[in-house]
Structure 1
Amino acid sequence: MSDLGPLNRSALARRVEELRAEASNNIEEQHVLSRVILKQFTDDRHLLHAVSVIDRNAMILIKGPRGVGKVPNFVPQASRSAEELWGRTENLIPRVIKLCQQDRLHDDPAAVAVVRDIVALHYIRNRGLLTIHKRGYEQIRAELRRNARNMPGYEQGFRRQFRRALRDDEDHDAYFEVLARKTDSDFRSGLLFRASVERMFMRCRQWMVEKPVQLLHPEGGMFLIGDSPVISVDHLGRLGPENGVAIGNAIQILMPLTPRTLIAFGPSATGVVPAEIVAELNTFQVRAAHEYVFVHPASGLEDFVRTVRFGADVVGGELSSESL
C-alpha cells in the first residue's frame, strides 16, 4: 500500500499520473467566461461595462473581453492542455450564436449538442467548484483516516514500513500521513483539481446529452451576464454548486449567450419573455456572480446590478475609462 488506498486505484488517480509530466506547462491568464461570449456584450467600440458585486462604491470598468472574465491560474497545473480542451468547444461558439440569433438552432442537432457543451464548460469553470473541491478533499481524507485500519493490507503495510506491528493511534496517525503524502502534495499543487475539473466537464456533458434546449429572447431590454454564468436553481430557490445545487439536482439551468439570447433547459422551443421575466433572469446572474457582472453599455443595467446586490439606496457609480 503506497498511498491513500482506494484513491490510488481510481480513474481520477490514473489521470493525475498521466498529467504529472505536463504539470509545469501552464497558462497563467485563464478565462472562466469565454471571450467570444463576452464579445456579444460589447458595443461598437468593442467595450463592455463591468460592474462590481463586491464593492458598492467601485467604479464601473469599461473594458474589452480580453481584460475581464479571467481567474489567474484557475487551473494551476497542466493548464495548457486544459485550455486546449476548453478551446475545442469555444471555437464552435460563434457559429452557435449566429444560429441562435437567426432562431435556427434547432435545425442543427450538432449545434444543439455544442450548446450543451458550452453550458457544461461554464458550469465547471466556476470558482465555487474550486471551493467545493477543497472541501470535498478534506472530507474524503478525514473519512479515509477514520477507516484506514479496515483497508486490506493496512497493518501489513505498516509492518513493512516500520518493521514492527501497529500498536496505537499514534502509529496509525504516523502511517496515514505517510500514505497521504503524495496525494496531499497533488492536492496542494492543484494537479488533483486539474484532473477533477476535466472529469467533471466530461460528466456534465454526458449528463446533459439528452436534455432539450430552449432559447429565450427578451421582449424588451437586454440580458446581462455574470462571472458565474450558468445558473442552477433548486426547488428552494438556491443557486449554484456552492449552495449545494449540483447540476443534476437543479430544476432549472440557465445561461445567457448574448444580450438577446438566453439558454434554458426545457422543452425544445424558442420563446420571447416579458420584461418582468428578463429582470428575474438577470437577478439570478447578479446573485450568483463572484466579482463582476458584465452589461452592454447601451443596456442601462448598471444601477440594476447594484440595486439587486447591495440594495435600493445605492447611488450610481462613476465610470472608469480603463480599457483593454
Structure 2
Amino acid sequence: MKAAHIARQHLVSQVLLRQFTMPGSGGAGWQLLPVDVCNPERSNKLKGTRACGWAANFVAVDTASVEALWGSVESRVPAAIAAVHAGDPFADSLHVEALRDLVVLHYVRSHRYRGVHTSAFETTSVRLRGELTSRFPEQLRREALHQTGLHLSGPGSLGAFAERLIKQSEVTQAFESGELFRTSIENTFNQVRAMAAKWQVEVLMPETGQFLVGDNPAVTVRTDTSPYSYNMAFGDAHSIVLPIGPRHLLALGAGNMMATVPRTVVDEINAVQVFAADRFVYMHPRSGLETFAKAKARQRPAVRVKR
C-alpha cells in the first residue's frame, strides 16, 4: 500500500521551533512570535509551532521516502538538545553527530536550496536549447519534419522546436513532477553530510540578548566582513550557523567547544537570519527582538544571493 502524501512539510523542525516558545494565555498552548520580513509594517500574532516553518508540497512526490530521511535525524535531536541545555553536549559522540546532522538537514531542506535547484535546471535548459540550435540545426530540421511535417528555416523556429524537445524529455518531465527535486535533495543531503563530517560543532551562547531563527535557518557565513556575508557556497564559508534556541546557536567549526559571544556577534547573526529568510523569522515572545527584526527587514537586499 502506497504511503499517503504529506502536503504540509516543515522545513524548520518543530523540535527546534519549540525552543523559542512560551505557554500561551487561555490554554493556547506553547507559542512563539513570527515576524513577516517581507511586510515589516504588518502586525504579528503569537502562533504555535505547527503553523510555522512549513511549506506546501515542498517535496511533491514520494514524501514518505524523504520524510523518513529527515526523521532519521530529527528523532535523535531532543536528547542532543537536552545535552546542550545541560552544558555537556560533547560527552556523547552521538549527540555531536546529531547536532551536526541537524545543521546539514536545515541547510539542505530549505527554500534556498529549492531556489538553487530551480535556477540550475532553468539555466541548463536555456544552455541546452542554444547548443541544439547551434550545433545540430540539420538534425533538428529532420526531426521537426518527421514529427510535424513542417520545414523549419529561421533560428526562431528552430529554437522553438528545440524547446519542445527539451520539454518532452524524461528529465524535464521529472523536474515538472517533482521527482527530480526529491532525488536531488536526498542526494545533496548525503553529500553535504559527508562533507560536514570533517567539521566539529561549536555551541555559542550570547553574553546578552537572544537569538532568533529564520525560515532558512542554516546559513553559510563568512565573518571576515562587517556585516557578515552569507549564502555563499559551502566550500567558501567559514561556517554554517543554526540557532537552536534563544540562548544557543550551533556553528560548524574546527573543534567541539562551548563559548559565549558578545552582543555584537549576536546582532550580526540575527541580521543574517533576517536577510536570508524566505518570508518569516521566529523569536521567543519575550525576547524583545520584534523591533530589531522589523528594522533589519527594511534593510533587506532587493535581490538576495541564492548560493
Shorter-chain TM-score bucket reads 0.7 to 0.9
Deviation by residue 1:47-96 (Cα, 9 ceiling, x = unmatched): 11111101122121201111111111111122232112111111111011
The alpha-carbon distance between structure 1 residues 229 and 178, as it changes in their structure 2 partners (threshold 3 A), is: same
Q: Secondary structure at the match of 1:107?
A: coil
Is 1:207–1:248's contact at 8 Å kept on the other side of the alignment?
Answer: no
Is 2:41–2:294's contact at 8 Å kept on the other side of the alignment?
Answer: no
Mind listing any 5+ residue stretches in structure 2 that lack a counterpart? 25-29, 300-307
Deviation of 1:36 after TM superposition, in Å, equals 0.6
Q: Percent identity over the alignment? A: 31
Deviation by residue 1:218-245 (Cα, 9 ceiling, x = unmatched): 11221111111112124664322xxxx1
TM-score normalised to the size of structure 2?
0.82
Structure 1 counterpart of 2:180, from 145, 167, 192:
192
Is 1:252–1:265's contact at 8 Å kept on the other side of the alignment?
Answer: yes
Q: Which amino acid aligns with 1:82?
A: V
Matched, 1:265 2:252: yes
In structure 2, the residue matched to 1:304 is: 292
Q: Secondary structure at the match of 2:251?
A: strand
In structure 2, the residue matched to 1:95 is: 79
Mind listing any 5+ residue stretches in structure 1 that lack a counterpart? 1-20, 312-324
In structure 1, the residue matched to 2:171 is: 183
Is 2:242–2:250's contact at 8 Å kept on the other side of the alignment?
Answer: yes
In structure 1, the residue matched to 2:304 is: none
Cα distance in 1 for partners of 2:294, 2:162 equals 53
In structure 2, the residue matched to 1:288 is: 276
Cα distance in 1 for partners of 2:238, 2:194 equals 18
Q: Secondary structure at the match of 2:230?
A: coil
Cα distance in 1 for partners of 2:20, 2:54 equals 16
Structure 2 counterpart of 1:31, from 10, 20, 23:
10
Q: Which amino acid aligns with 1:38?
A: L
Is 2:37–2:297's contact at 8 Å kept on the other side of the alignment?
Answer: yes
Pairwise CA RMSD: 3.0
Structure 2 counterpart of 1:130, from 102, 107, 114:
114
Deviates more, 1:34-43 or 1:76-85: 76-85
Q: How does 1:247-266 map to 2 (within 5 A)?
A: 247-266=234-253
Deviation of 1:248 after TM superposition, in Å, equals 2.3
Deviation by residue 1:266-314 (Cα, 9 ceiling, x = unmatched): 2321101122222222111111112111111121111111112226xxx
The alpha-carbon distance between structure 1 residues 265 and 78, as it changes in their structure 2 partners (threshold 3 A), is: same
Cα distance in 1 for partners of 2:55, 2:43 equals 20
Q: How does 1:9-88 map to 2 (within 5 A)?
A: 25-45=4-24, 46-88=30-72
Is 1:224–1:256's contact at 8 Å kept on the other side of the alignment?
Answer: yes
Is 1:232–1:247's contact at 8 Å kept on the other side of the alignment?
Answer: yes
Deviation by residue 1:118-142 (Cα, 9 ceiling, x = unmatched): 1111011211221211111122223
The alpha-carbon distance between structure 1 residues 175 and 145, as it changes in their structure 2 partners (threshold 3 A), is: closer
Deviation of 1:167 after TM superposition, in Å, equals 9.3
Count residues with an aligned counterpart.
284
Cα distance in 1 for partners of 2:183, 2:219 equals 24
Q: Which amino acid aligns with 2:200?
A: P
Structure 2 counterpart of 1:211, from 187, 196, 199:
199
Q: Which amino acid aligns with 1:98?
A: A
Deviation of 1:25 after TM superposition, in Å, equals 4.7
Cα distance in 2 for partners of 1:32, 1:155 equals 45
Cα distance in 1 for partners of 2:55, 2:290 equals 22
Is 2:166–2:172's contact at 8 Å kept on the other side of the alignment?
Answer: no
Is 2:133–2:162's contact at 8 Å kept on the other side of the alignment?
Answer: no
Cα distance in 1 for partners of 2:132, 2:98 equals 43
Q: Secondary structure at the match of 1:248?
A: helix
